[in-house]
Amino acid sequence: MNKFLKPRVNYTNEGALKLGMFIMVGFVIGDIWFGELPDTTVMMVALFFYAWRRDIAFAHDEKIGQAIGREANDLALRIIIATLVIAFFVSFFVDTMSYPLESFVYFTLAFVFGLKGIGLWFFMPETTVETELN
């Protein structure tokens, strides 16, 4: 094989997800810079973040990953229910929505995936965090 065609860097799954996360953050900054609504890119950033943290949670042990996932889901569900109650009362004072429904759906998915990713990060045991950084 030609030496120029050989891969120079070997990416792990975690490294690829980190790279994708930073690329998506760059796309969000680019969308804002050019004056567009970054609905799809924000959702993709949240999805990459959730996939990255889920991969780290399940990398060490299946039972620990499932326990962390349950805790993250409980936290996300509680925050989503509180947000829906607050939005219900705020909706009495708002006449119309100025965003299209498609953007609203994308931002809602970004909120849910972001909450689940933050929950996976928050409930990670200390012993796995040390091995993650090494």
Domain total for the chain? 1
Residue 18: HSE in the Cβ half-sphere, 13 Å Cα cutoff = 8
For residue 3, is it within any domain? no
pLDDT digits (tens, 9 = 90+) for 12-52: 767 777 787 788 888 888 888 888 878 888 888 888 888 88
Containing structural domain, residue 52: 15-133
pLDDT at 79 over 90: yes
* 52 in Cβ contact with 12 (< 8 Å): no
Q: Say if CB 106 and CB 55 are below 8 A apart.
A: no
Neighbour-count burial for 75-101, b at 16+ CB within 10 Å, e otherwise: bbeeeeeeeeeeeeeeeeeeeeeeeee
Specify the pLDDT at position 128. 46
Report if residue 35 sits inside a domain.
yes
The reported pTM is: 0.71
Give the single-character DSSP code of 12. Answer: P
For residue 131, the model assigns a pLDDT of 47
